Amino acid sequence: MDSRYILDKSSVGSRGGGADFNCRAGRSVLRDSRVPTADKSGPMPAYTNGSVLYKFVMDGGLAAEVKSEKSFPKGNGLTSGGRILHDMEKTGLGDQKDAGSNGVLKKASPAHCPGINGQMPGSLMHLDIRNPGKQAELANNFRAAQGQNVPPTERQPHPSSHIPVPRNRKPSGHADKEVMAATVLTSLSTSPMVLHPSSAPTVPEPASRGWKEVLSASYSSSTSGNWSWDASDQSVPSTPSPPLSNENNKNFLLSSQADDICEDVTESTHFMFEDPIPRKRKNSMKVMFKCLWKNCEKVLSTSSGIQRHIRTVHLGRNSDSDYSDGEEDFYYSEIEVNMDSLTEGMSNLTPTSPTTAAPPPVFPPPLTDVPHSEHINMNGSQSHAPTLLSQSAPSTLCHIRTDHAYQGPVNHVRTASTGEKRQPASSTHTAVNKTHALVTPASKSTPGTRKPRGEAKKCRKVYGMEKKDMWCTACRWKKACQRFTD
């Protein structure tokens, strides 16, 4: 059915594309603790189905995206919607509104990505490698929480799941938003999950806040850490909503049919907070994955694709093997492409929020100015860049986000010049990013001179001698560190 359709449509990801993508992304975070083969476990239909949507979004552009989504029966929205949620973090929430506006967005349940890794593609992905140890910890926590909070088998119909929400609403101003909030709250007031129904209809502001709380709780408890991250970052700026702060709501949700509730809340909240989410949509954030390998500027629309590319082309590993030690993660970066407005994009373009980027103390300070240079690079890389990117690159704002462990915890982005091979000749990519004159051709004039010592802590410093096996290979070999470049 849909999966078929999807598979035919998708051009980038190969077999098991969607599943691969999601779960792998998760995996990449937990490189040390995950079970590599977990990706494969799981019903393909859900995966492929989801991947379809994703592919559409990535490859088809806006129109195709909307269209394709509409083509999906709403009843099926469970799976596809779930996928959308998962993908959202990749696409920078760009699809979320889509899903919401079409009423497709139904379920953020991890059940769609079965297996340990699959459970939390989102959270894993964004907890991400910024701090391997921390990530693993967080991810494990999430997993644990998920395991007990959202038993996939317990799905009961819930009153709130049938709340009529207008679907064809257009993004509107704050006034509308509040009205909508009130409306939704009113309709939801019969739902047991509304803690203070009485306040809903007449007092928009507190109501909204309450909703935010519920939202945050649902996000963080039922979907993923990433969710809470995205939610706080994009939609609910004022509520970072760590699980702790929402203990009550969370518990409440958990005690009842958390899954369905969350689903409903999620759906409803898209209307509630139509402003932020649609804005994302408006900006048409596209996420591409760019190979950072030296002289290879391949850009793919799926992480699995880029990983496979790296694995096969650069790492010389078996392409059929799903196993990955995560090495590929160091060789690609996530690129967010803003299709629409540059100015507006700017304000939304800081995807890396300190909220979820569990502050690893050890990582180097982020470099700014990355996006532009990457942008430049991308223009020059059209030979490899597939359709969408190459078309849009010249006129769009590109935003780089890396999924790498050494990525600084700080809000801004950093180009990960991590390619082990590419590092020595970083002049093409990285040197451009760095405003250091030292790394520029000027240094060429004095061959033989050592390049100035970098500020960043290297593997040795970061991991210590006792964890030498965590060092990058270069560090192990007493070469210039490839992981923490300066």
Partner DNA sequence: ACTGCCGGGAG
Partner DNA sequence: CTCCCGGCAGT
Should residue 450 be labelled a site residue for DNA when binding is judged by CB under 7 A?
yes
Cβ-based nearer residue to DNA, 444 or 450: 450
Q: Which stretch binds DNA (CB under 7 A): 16-24, 28-36, 282-290, 458-466?
A: 458-466
Q: Of the candidates 156, 453, 466, 469, which one interacts with DNA according to CB under 7 A?
A: 453
Should residue 458 be labelled a site residue for DNA when binding is judged by CB under 7 A?
yes
Q: How far apart are CA 465 and CA 301, in angstroms?
A: 38
Cβ-based nearer residue to DNA, 356 or 485: 485
CB of 363 to DNA, least distance (A): 12
Q: Of the candidates 75, 361, 441, 448, which one interacts with DNA according to CB under 7 A?
A: 448
Q: Which stretch binds DNA (CB under 7 A): 204-212, 242-250, 336-344, 445-453?
A: 445-453
- The tokens for 249 are 């709501």
Should residue 365 be labelled a site residue for DNA when binding is judged by CB under 7 A?
no
Q: Which of residues 394-423 bind DNA (CB under 7 A)?
A: none
CB of 469 to DNA, least distance (A): 10
CB of 357 to DNA, least distance (A): 22
Q: Which stretch binds DNA (CB under 7 A): 64-72, 83-91, 180-188, 453-461?
A: 453-461
CB of 430 to DNA, least distance (A): 12
Cβ-based nearer residue to DNA, 8 or 469: 469
Q: Which stretch binds DNA (CB under 7 A): 31-39, 129-137, 202-210, 454-462?
A: 454-462
Should residue 313 be labelled a site residue for DNA when binding is judged by CB under 7 A?
no
3-state SS, the chain, equals CHHHHHHHHCCCCCCCHHHHHHHHHHHHHCCCCCCHHHHCCCCHHHHHHHHHHHHHHHHHHHHHHHHHHHHCCHHHHHHHHHHHHHHHHHHCCCCHHHHHHHCCCCCCCHHHCCHHHHHCHHHHHHHHHHCHHHHHHHHHHHHHHHHHHCCCCCCCCCHHHHCCCCCCCCCCCHHHHHHHHHHHHHHHCCCCCCCCHHHCCCCHHHHHHHHHHHHHHHHHHHHCHHHHHHHHHHHCCCCCCCHHHHHHHHHHHHHCCHHHHHHHHHHHHHHHCCCHHHHHHHHCEEEEEEECCCCCCCEECCHHHHHHHHHHHHCCCCCCCCCCCCHHHHHEEEEEEECCCHHHHHHHCCCCCCCCCCCCCCCCCCCCCHHHHHHHHHHHCCCCCCHHHHHHHHHCEEEEEECCCCCCCCCCCCCCCCCCCCCCCCCCCHHHHCCCCCCCHHHHHCCCCCCCCCCCCCHHHHHCHHHHHHCCHHHHCCCCCCCCCC
Q: Could you tell me which of 302, 420, 400 has the C-alpha nearest to residue 351?
A: 400
CB of 34 to DNA, least distance (A): 22
Should residue 486 be labelled a site residue for DNA when binding is judged by CB under 7 A?
yes
Q: Which of residues 461-480 bind DNA (CB under 7 A)?
A: 461, 473, 475-480
Cβ-based nearer residue to DNA, 403 or 486: 486
Should residue 460 be labelled a site residue for DNA when binding is judged by CB under 7 A?
yes
- The tokens for 389 are 């990117």
Q: Of the candidates 454, 466, 469, 470, which one interacts with DNA according to CB under 7 A?
A: 454
Should residue 67 be labelled a site residue for DNA when binding is judged by CB under 7 A?
no
Should residue 481 be labelled a site residue for DNA when binding is judged by CB under 7 A?
yes
Length of the chain: 486
CB of 383 to DNA, least distance (A): 23
CB of 456 to DNA, least distance (A): 8
Q: Which stretch binds DNA (CB under 7 A): 119-127, 166-174, 339-347, 455-463?
A: 455-463
CB of 465 to DNA, least distance (A): 7
CB of 315 to DNA, least distance (A): 9
Q: Of the candidates 4, 15, 167, 451, which one interacts with DNA according to CB under 7 A?
A: 451
CB of 294 to DNA, least distance (A): 12
Q: Count interface residues toward DNA (CB under 7 A).
A: 21
Give the C-alpha distances (Å, rounded to integers) separating 105 from 95, 212, 213: 10, 18, 20
Should residue 431 be labelled a site residue for DNA when binding is judged by CB under 7 A?
no
Binding site for DNA (CB under 7 A): 424, 448, 450-454, 457-461, 473, 475-481, 486
